[in-house]
């Protein structure tokens, strides 16, 4: 494959910092995982045609993970006169309403005029253990354990056999070991840095580097990319994971690409 396996567009939590938007990635520049506010510009800035990224997989519909969708919808409409080539995958409970909200936002002044957008994106609503396949990819999903309905993904590139896991935002779930089994790469959130988790996690439902280490060990992951934390927490999260794992551990540096 000529495209990089995984490309980072952002790896911040809900505090974006200079040159680091909310967490957002591509797989082979064909699938977008979540849509940070700058996703469309980030693709253009890295010479990736946003139209070739024709599947968007949402981990969940918290604003920091989907605010970039309206810009992508407008770009598709301007470039192709249709949204029919776009597939949007997400949690069954929320993805359809969120896409509808984004469409109303972008085309609020003229939705009737845009006859072409009658051809709407294909929406794939997933729940529980499920699989969605494209010609190139097998996209396995399971429910996350977050404050809102969400999905974790384990995506396999069929031709090369490479696979990458995305936890999205979630607490630790015992079945992660099976779900992310033998992943070449795992992007694991570490909202609480090196950990341990605070008492309040019962409400916000996130993870730390401690759970990332546990999941890597249980799943036999080959390489860990830590992501989704407030910048001042990064160093200690990285130090914890490196100390407790023998596999390569890196930070998901924005605009960096990763092979396996």
Task: Confirm if 90 and 57 have CB atoms less than 8 A apart.
Answer: yes
Q: Name every residue whose Cβ is closer than 8 Å to that of residue 120 and which is 6 or more positions away in sequence.
A: 83, 84, 103
Q: Which stretch binds Zn ion (CB under 5 A): 54-62, 94-102, 127-135, 174-182?
A: 54-62
Nearer to Zn ion, 162 or 228 (CB): 228
Q: What part of residues 155-184 is at the interface with Zn ion (CB under 5 A)?
A: 169
Choose the stretch contacting Zn ion; rule: CB under 5 A; options: 60-68, 88-96, 99-107, 153-161.
Answer: 60-68
Instruction: Please state the closest distance from residue 20 (CB atom) to Zn ion, in A.
Output: 13
Kindly tell me which of 121 and 150 has the beta carbon lying closer to Zn ion.
Answer: 150
Map the footprint of Zn ion across residues 13-52, applying CB under 5 A. Answer: none
- The least distance separating Zn ion from the CB of residue 108, rounded to whole angstroms, comes to 26
Minimum distance of Zn ion from residue 92's CB (angstroms) = 17
Q: How far is the CB of 126 from Zn ion (least distance, A)?
A: 17
Measured between alpha carbons, how far is 41 from 38 in angstroms, rounded to an integer? 5
**Residue 38 three-state SS:** coil
Residue 62 interacts with Zn ion (CB under 5 A): yes or no: yes
Rounded to the nearest whole angstrom, what is the least distance from the CB of residue 62 to Zn ion in the complex? Answer: 4
- Distance separating alpha carbons of residues 15 and 102, to the nearest angstrom: 22
CA distances from 40 to 2, 7, 36, 129, 166 (A): 21, 13, 9, 30, 20
Q: Which is nearer to Zn ion, 65 or 157 (CB)?
A: 65
Asked whether the beta carbons of 250 and 241 are under 8 A apart, the reply is no
Tokens representing residue 25 in the block? 């990635």
**Residues engaged in binding Zn ion (CB under 5 A):** 62, 169
């Amino acid at each position: 494959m000529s495209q990089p396996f995984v490309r980072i567009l952002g790896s911040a939590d809900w505090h974006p910092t200079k040159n680091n938007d909310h967490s957002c990635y591509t797989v082979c520049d064909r699938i977008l995982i979540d849509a940070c506010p700058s996703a469309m510009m980030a693709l253009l800035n890295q010479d990736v045609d946003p139209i070739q990224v024709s599947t968007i997989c949402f981990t969940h519909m918290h604003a920091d993970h989907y605010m970039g969708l309206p810009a992508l919808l407008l770009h598709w409409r301007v470039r192709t006169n249709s949204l029919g080539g776009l597939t949007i995958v997400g949690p069954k409970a929320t993805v359809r309403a969120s896409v509808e909200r984004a469409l109303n936002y972008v085309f609020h002044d003229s939705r009737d005029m845009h006859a072409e957008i009658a051809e709407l994106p294909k929406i794939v609503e997933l729940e529980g253990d499920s699989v969605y396949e494209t010609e190139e990819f097998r996209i396995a999903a399971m429910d996350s354990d977050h404050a809102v309905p969400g999905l974790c993904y384990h995506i396999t590139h069929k031709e090369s056999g490479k696979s990458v896991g995305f936890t999205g935002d979630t607490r630790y779930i015992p079945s992660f070991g099976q779900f992310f089994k033998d992943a070449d790469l795992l992007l694991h959130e570490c909202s609480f840095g090196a950990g341990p988790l605070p008492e309040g996690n019962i409400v916000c439902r996130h993870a730390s580097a401690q759970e990332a280490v546990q999941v890597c060990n249980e799943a036999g992951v080959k390489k860990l990319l830590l992501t989704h934390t407030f910048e001042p927490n990064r160093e200690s999260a990285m130090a914890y994971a490196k100390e407790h794992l023998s596999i390569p551990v890196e930070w998901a540096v924005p605009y960096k690409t990763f092979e396996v």
